[in-house]
């Protein structure tokens, strides 16, 4: 039986960027043909989903958390410290986990529910390596899992959107339909309806976390049909929503359209300069502490305290998820804070699936 435990992440408030940041510019991806081993040095690595390490969302946040762990412990990028394996498609997952385990990494992280089957199989095959998954659950004495109450932060995003929209039409764009993205959709819809059930809410899915062009096309249709705010939970594909918003306002500066970011503060993705004036098209962002959670797991493993076969649940009450102030009005911020308090106190129960 898996133990379930709520943990409080004390450092989450200082930054919601998390475990997968940064960039091909920092070095080459780990080669699946590597034969070098990490030796006695404690090391950790992560496997990205198909969105890539620089998706400006979930993966990037996760990598940032690993880098923070490395800096905290005097580690460098590579086999003796921390690294990532970038996946071009889902068939890469098993290969990357095997390469990481065979290379001597002590802890392997899988970021995203798409990696569940691959990381569970790898944990079974490599009992001496520890495996951690973010956004799903796996089992075994060499495993640990972290889940976030994304629906709670998404509810706040819905409140913010409902308090801001001028067209009474908002939208949600998801990457791929799944239990995880269901939580985002359900929370957002519930938050909008909590403020005003008469607001029109459009919901569409990209069918991918990597297809930014398709997400851009979907956003074009939604904005053209009257939606003025889109909450995107689509990984790297979500950058297409930001791109469309920027194009619309560039072509017609009188248009007021916004994007709500996801997983990390995506303020920069919404910045646009027109005639020397900066416009902010990121209304707000829902943030979750993926990086901080990964950093804590890595430290516990380093200290011989790996939370074996445990599932950690993080929500608003734990500072595990949150909503940025963004460019919200005082009225919207007040409504968000009231909703947040009501959720934490149990006065509002946020649905986890659209069917609820």
pLDDT tens digits, 53-72:
887 777 888 899 999 999 99
What does the angle CA 125 – CA 300 – CA 110 come to, to the nearest 5 degrees? Answer: 45
Q: Are residues 99 and 200 in the same domain?
A: no
pLDDT reported for residue 58: 76
Two structure tokens written together for 47: 């496997």
Q: Are residues 169 and 137 in the same domain?
A: no
pLDDT 10s digits, 100-143 = 999 999 999 998 889 999 999 999 999 999 999 999 999 999 99
Q: Are residues 166 and 297 in the same domain?
A: no
pLDDT reported for residue 61: 82
Q: Distance between CA atoms of 13 and 341, rounded to whole angstroms? A: 17
Q: Are residues 304 and 221 in the same domain?
A: no
Q: Which residue, among 169, 177, 244, has the nearest Cα to 208 in the 3D structure?
A: 177
Range of the domain at 325: 150-288+321-344
Q: Are residues 183 and 128 in the same domain?
A: no
Q: Are residues 197 and 110 in the same domain?
A: no
CATH number, domain of 105, equals 3.40.50.2300
Q: Is 224 helix (H, G, I), strand (E, B) or coil?
A: helix
Distances (CA, A) of 349 to 151, 345, 352: 10, 10, 9
Within 10 A of 339 (CB to CB), how many other CB atoms are there?
Answer: 24
Q: Are residues 308 and 274 in the same domain?
A: no
Q: Distance between CA atoms of 181 and 315, rounded to whole angstroms? A: 16
Residue 195, in any domain of the structure: yes
The residue ranking higher by pLDDT, 38 or 196, is 196
Q: Distance between CA atoms of 100 and 47, rounded to whole angstroms? A: 9
Tally of domains in the chain: 2
Q: Does residue 271 register a pLDDT over 80? A: yes
pLDDT reported for residue 13: 35
Q: Are residues 262 and 305 in the same domain?
A: no
Place of tokens 């005639």: 275
Please tell me the pTM assigned to this model: 0.81
Mean model confidence pLDDT for the chain: 89
* Residues whose CB falls within 8 Å of the CB of residue 172, separated by 6 or more in sequence, listed in order: 184, 185, 188, 189, 201, 202, 203, 204, 230, 231, 232, 233
Q: Are residues 96 and 221 in the same domain?
A: no
pLDDT reported for residue 240: 97
Residue 185, in any domain of the structure: yes
Two structure tokens written together for 44: 């950790």
Residue 265, in any domain of the structure: yes
Q: Are residues 71 and 218 in the same domain?
A: no
H or E stretch including 271?
strand 271-274
Q: Distance between CA atoms of 6 and 15, rounded to whole angstroms? A: 20
Q: Are residues 57 and 141 in the same domain?
A: yes
Residue 36, in any domain of the structure: yes
Q: Are residues 56 and 183 in the same domain?
A: no
Q: Rg (Cα) of the chain, in Å, rounded? A: 20
């Amino acid at each position: 039986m898996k133990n379930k435990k709520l943990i409080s992440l004390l450092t989450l408030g200082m930054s919601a960027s998390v475990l997968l940041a940064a960039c091909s510019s920092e070095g080459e991806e780990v080669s699946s043909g590597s034969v070098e081993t990490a030796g006695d040095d404690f090391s950790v690595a992560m496997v990205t989903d198909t969105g890539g390490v620089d998706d400006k969302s979930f993966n990037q946040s996760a990598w940032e958390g690993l880098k923070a762990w490395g800096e905290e412990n005097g580690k460098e990028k590579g086999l003796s410290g921390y690294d990532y394996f970038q996946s071009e498609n889902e068939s890469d997952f098993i290969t990357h986990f095997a390469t990481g385990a065979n290379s001597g990494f002590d802890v392997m992280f899988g970021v995203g529910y798409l990696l569940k089957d691959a990381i569970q199989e790898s944990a079974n095959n490599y009992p001496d390596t520890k495996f951690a998954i973010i956004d799903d659950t796996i089992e075994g004495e060499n495993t640990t899992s972290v889940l976030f109450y994304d629906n709670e932060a998404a509810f706040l995003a819905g409140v913010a959107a409902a308090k801001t929209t001028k067209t009474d039409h908002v939208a949600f764009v998801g990457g791929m339909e799944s239990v995880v993205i269901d939580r985002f959709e359900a929370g957002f819809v519930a938050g909008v309806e909590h403020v005003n059930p008469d607001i029109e809410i459009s919901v569409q899915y990209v069918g991918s976390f990597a297809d930014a062009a398709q997400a851009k096309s979907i956003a074009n249709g939604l904005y053209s049909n009257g939606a003025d705010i889109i909450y995107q939970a689509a990984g790297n594909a979500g950058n297409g929503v930001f791109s469309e918003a920027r194009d619309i306002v560039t072509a017609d500066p009188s248009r007021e359209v916004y994007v709500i970011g996801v997983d990390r503060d995506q303020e920069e993705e919404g910045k646009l300069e027109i005639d020397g004036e900066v416009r902010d098209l990121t209304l707000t962002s829902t943030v979750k502490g993926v990086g901080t959670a990964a950093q804590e797991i890595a430290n516990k493993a380093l200290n011989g305290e790996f939370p074996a076969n445990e599932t950690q649940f993080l929500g608003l009450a734990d500072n595990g998820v949150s909503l940025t102030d963004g460019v919200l009005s005082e009225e919207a911020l007040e409504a968000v804070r009231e909703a947040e308090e009501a959720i934490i106190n149990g006065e509002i129960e946020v649905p986890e699936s659209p069917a609820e």
